[in-house]
């Protein structure tokens, strides 16, 4: 299996579904609620079906772990972990900050990932052990070592209304110790922006595998570090994620843990 050849095909697929997302931004959307503030649109479902159909043609034996039709969380070789439209709430409100996320799980690792931002035409990609790229050019994390000069991204879990004090206490501890905090509304965007040095770090709790799988590999391949809040080993089912340029990681971890 030539992963570079696979990556080229996955990038084409991501661009094709990105075009669908772009053309429907300003259309009236059929919105359904999966939870009190967790929603899905018909575009999510349409794009997920296309992703599954097209990716299955690359590996007919592959499995899927996908946001809108998630299986029971079982990971087997050749499992595509996909989020067809990360940032659905943004999209439903006409805000063009969204991402198409595709990761390939093989041999108990994510070996390939693509995060495509259709409205800025930013194609982030990586193959395990071969670096991270943005539109074909190699990227690396920020070299900022001072937490006070760092720009940090975060997000809020869908059950924030059940534990607002916990979420806000984490936010407060970080906010007063950094240059600024941004809330983009897409964990995938946050992660790839850490990878290319726009953010020094990102933290969030309550995310799902399809939110982080693709961005996780891209951050690490760009020279960054990804753990849980307490600096323990990260996995795609972990309850928290902390991704940084590495230099500010331990200091930020102490604030969150």
Task: Note the pLDDT tens digit of each residue in 180-220.
Answer: 999 999 999 999 999 999 999 999 999 999 999 999 999 99
CATH of domain 147-256: 3.40.190.80
Say yes or no to pLDDT of 35 above 50: no
Which has more pLDDT, 34 or 10? Answer: 10
Say yes or no to pLDDT of 39 above 50: no
Task: Return the pLDDT at 135.
Answer: 98
Phi-psi region of 61 (alpha: psi -120 to 50; beta: other; left: phi over 0): alpha
Say yes or no to pLDDT of 170 above 90: yes
Say yes or no to pLDDT of 37 above 60: no
Task: Return the pLDDT at 151.
Answer: 98
Task: Return the pLDDT at 115.
Answer: 98
Say yes or no to pLDDT of 253 above 80: yes
CATH of domain 3-138: 3.30.540.10
Which has more pLDDT, 102 or 108? Answer: 102
Span 26-39, mean pLDDT? 54
Span 87-92, mean pLDDT? 90
Say yes or no to pLDDT of 138 above 50: yes
**For residue 38, what pLDDT band results from cuts at 50, 70 and 90?**
very low
Say yes or no to pLDDT of 75 above 90: no
Q: Given this chain, do its domains 3-138 and 147-256 carry the same CATH topology?
A: no
Parse the chain into domains and list their residue ranges: 3-138, 147-256
Task: Return the pLDDT at 194.
Answer: 98
């Amino acid at each position: 299996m030539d992963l570079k050849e696979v990556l080229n095909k996955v990038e084409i697929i991501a661009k094709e579904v990105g075009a669908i997302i772009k053309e429907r931004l300003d259309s009236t959307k059929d919105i359904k609620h999966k939870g009190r503030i967790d929603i899905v649109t018909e575009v999510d479902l349409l794009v997920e079906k296309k992703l599954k159909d097209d990716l299955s043609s690359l590996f007919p034996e592959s499995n899927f772990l996908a946001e809108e039709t998630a299986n029971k969380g079982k990971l087997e070789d050749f499992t595509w972990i996909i989020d067809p439209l990360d940032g659905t709430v943004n999209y439903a409100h006409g805000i063009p900050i969204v991402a198409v996320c595709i990761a390939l799980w093989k041999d108990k690792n994510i070996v390939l990932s693509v995060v495509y931002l259709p409205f800025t035409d930013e194609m982030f990609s990586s193959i395990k052990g071969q670096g991270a790229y943005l539109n074909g050019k190699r990227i690396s994390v920020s070299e900022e070592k001072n937490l006070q000069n760092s720009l940090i991204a975060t997000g809020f879990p869908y059950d924030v209304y059940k534990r607002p004090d916990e979420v806000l206490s984490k936010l407060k501890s970080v906010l007063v110790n950094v240059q600024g905090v941004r809330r983009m509304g897409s964990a995938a965007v946050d992660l790839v922006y850490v990878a290319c040095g726009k953010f020094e770090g990102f933290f969030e709790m309550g995310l799902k595998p399809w939110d982080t799988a693709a961005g996780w590999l891209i951050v690490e391949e760009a020279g960054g570090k990804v753990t849980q809040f307490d600096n323990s080993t990260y996995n795609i089912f972990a309850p928290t994620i902390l991704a940084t340029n590495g230099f500010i990681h331990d200091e930020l971890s102490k604030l969150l843990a």
